[in-house]
Amino acid sequence: MKFHTVQYLRAVAALIVVVTHALLHPITYVNIPIRRFGSFGVVLFFVISGFIIVYTTGKGGFKPGNFIRRRLERVVPLYWIVTAGVAVLALAAPSLLKNTTFTWTQFIGSLLFIPHARPDGAVVPMMMLGWTLNYEMFFYLVFAAMAPLTAGRRILAVTAIFLALIALGLVMQFTAPIPWFYTQPLLITFSIGMGVGYLLLRYPDQLFVPRLAPAWLTAAVLFLAMAFAVPSSVPPGPLTDLPFAAAGGALIMFGLSIEVRLPKWRFGVLLGDASYSMYLTHMYIVAASILVVQKLTGSAIPWLDVLLSVTLSIAVSIPIWRLVDRPVYKALRRLDRSAQQRQAPA
């Protein structure tokens, strides 16, 4: 089942990230408030992911192989295509990229979702924003490992593993990329989304009703206020990510509470569908947009950078979703179903 409000929130998360990068790209200093705004978009994506995974797998156990295969079919093709494009650009025109250089180790590690450090020390893949997909894949693997359990126990088990990893990271203070990456507090944001998914499975008629919508919206506003009230000198991290995740969970509950009363906004649903394409491609559209603005005006103009970046990101992501992402996913699903039918006993 596709919830319209969740689609709208996916679109909002993607647009937040686009706006953030349009504001950050031209500047050479660290702007923590803008980075914090962008981190809310990323956290919202993680919360939505946790929600969707729990709700779609249901109350009982599931087949982990089928689950992982479907996740790979959904995530991998477009990410590999974009990563290959970045690799070609890094080889053919490295001056067009700010910090990305090509090495085979980095390229293969990126394709396999293995965290590794770039020469500048940043633990990001060749396609920089793919770091979030490394977390997504890790979440899928841990979740699939708990497939025999019922939904409630599965969520508790996954959350316990995440908390144990976070505690281990605090104690050990890892510096190597892989253990450092998978012991970050950001992991727990998936659990907030899983919790909302579980509540919808268990208490749809008690908690997701119009009369409670004002309470969920108020909670979302309060959690957002808490996150942005953290002193601007504090970089994005647990002090902001946790209230951001709580706000994301409250926004999902608010949206689902009024889902039946909302008209379907086709363009909003379309943006939600294209949000993954927008997320993966927008960095390079943002860079091109800002370059165009600078060529035409002689300087960076923040509002114009944002306007052009958002417009072009939307204009590019929708056809990519329609012509590449969706057809490839559907083709892989057909192949998967055909293979399973051939393997089924007569």
Identify the domain containing residue 303 by its residue range. Answer: 4-340
Any idea which of 30-34, 65-69, 249-253 has the lowest mean pLDDT?
Answer: 30-34
Query: Residue 232: which of 28, 34, 9 has the closest Cα?
Result: 34
More reliable by pLDDT, 90 or 254: 254
Confidence of residue 345 (pLDDT cuts 50, 70, 90): low
Separation in Å, CA 133 to CA 60, 74, 136: 26, 12, 5
- pLDDT tens, position by position, 229-245: 999 888 889 999 999 99
What is the structure's pLDDT at 2?
Answer: 78
Is 170 contained in some domain? yes
CA distance 31 to 34: 6
- Would 183 be classed as within a structural domain? yes
The structure tokens listed for 120 are 């500048």
Mean pLDDT of the chain: 93
Residues 246-276: tens digit of each pLDDT: 999 999 999 999 998 888 899 999 999 999 9
- Residue 152 within any structural domain of the chain: yes
Question: Domain for residue 287, yes or no?
Answer: yes
**pLDDT on residue 233:** 85
Task: Report the range of poorest mean pLDDT among 23-27, 94-98, 110-114, 171-175.
Answer: 94-98
Domain assignment present for 97: yes
Domain presence at residue 345: no
Beta strands per DSSP E along the chain = none
User: Is the pLDDT reported for residue 346 higher than 60?
Assistant: no
pLDDT for 99 beyond 60: yes
Per-residue confidence band for 156, with pLDDT thresholds at 50, 70 and 90: very high
208 within a domain of the structure (yes/no): yes
Domains: count for the chain = 1
Flag whether 291 is in a domain.
Answer: yes
pLDDT tens per residue across span 291-313: 899 888 988 789 999 999 999 99
3-state SS of 92-141?
HCHHHCCCCCCCHHHHHHHHCCCCCCCCCCCCCCCCHHHHHHHHHHHHHH
173's torsion region: left (phi>0), alpha (psi -120 to 50) or beta?
A: left
What is the average pLDDT across 276-303?
91
